[in-house]
Amino acid sequence: MDQTSAALHPQSTSMSTHGGSALSRQRLRSRRLRTIAGALLIAGVLEACAYRIDIQQGNLIEEEALDQVQLGMSRSAVQFLLGTPMIADAFHEQRWDYTYYFRRGRSREIEQRWIVVYFEQDRVVRIERDLQLQPPS
């Protein structure tokens, strides 16, 4: 645009210098928002597709094996039936703790078991089944 036409059309000159930059800022914001929205959408899709493994820890004790543990049994017989305990505490040698924890994938449902076998003179004197984990009061 030459000076004569700029003098005749002052609005078109101000539009091209000021309006153009406002328009480009708006386009830039719009492009940023679309980029952020696309990234969030991709992240959400990938999270939904991610496989969560099953978490299994401890001793899986079958009810039939536990039913076979009798008072007066030796430590070796208990170990044969239930396996090596998860916790064999050096400070409580007369107690074996069998714990089990299972969580399937994304499920919030958790299966837990806690069984304690007490010994005196290497013989079973007491069995506690399915104890609840509670903090000491």
pTM for the predicted model, two decimal places: 0.57
The pLDDT-based confidence of 78 (bands split at 50, 70, 90) is very high
Residues 45 and 59 grouped into a single domain? no
Give the integer Cα–Cα distance in Å for 104 and 58. 15
Residues 38 and 80 grouped into a single domain? no
Backbone angles phi, psi at 110, to 5 degrees: -125, 135
The pLDDT-based confidence of 14 (bands split at 50, 70, 90) is very low
Residue 64 has pLDDT above 80, yes or no: yes
Count of structural domains within the chain: 2
Residues 59 and 105 grouped into a single domain? yes
Domain that holds residue 18: 3-49
